[in-house]
Structure 1
């Protein structure tokens, strides 16, 4: 079982998410984000027991905090659990395109 935090995205010129910044979590350690292609992220989270949450930068405290759970839909894309909160949706995470 692998656990991940997703802190940001890369988007195409049309605004479609193409990659995710995925941080593996293991033994209490959160590892550096790895630019992960959409298809690979879907594959990883389709494995039984693997899970992910959004990881949000909290500006007032200057620390990261967990957002909402991320799920695979139809074996083809990721989405957050519908909770009515805009800031932790995948498309609203940090845009790492400038990196």
Structure 2
């Protein structure tokens, strides 16, 4: 089986304006298993995409993880945002990722 992506995103942290500040990023192994997530800034994830890495979302669908959409980014009003589906919203839209905001950002 071909490698599905270089990284998966399973969760997000958002600020008070509902913008993503950090993501829970998992490195994908050659056999499509993946490593523990690492809290990473949104800008690091965007830079990984710019370096031609592929990122997909994953969601927990008991008893297994479900592979979601491909993640990309857009530049709007001099700010870059992570995206899964292009639309007119000028904000991040990884809405199906687990909201990790109750977990400390430190």
Q: TM-score, normalised by structure 1?
A: 0.79
Alignment of 1:1-99 (within 5 A): 3-28=6-31, 29-48=33-52, 50-58=53-61, 61-74=62-75, 76-82=80-86, 90-99=94-103
Deviates more, 1:20-29 or 1:66-75: 66-75
Structure 1: 5+ residue stretches without partners:
83-88
* More strand by percentage: 1
Structure 2: 5+ residue stretches without partners:
87-92
Q: TM-score, normalised by structure 2?
A: 0.74
User: Where has structure 1 moved over 3 Å in runs of 4 or more?
Assistant: none
* d(CA) in 2 for partners of 1:73, 1:13: 21
Give me the CA root mean square deviation.
1.8
Aligned residues: 89
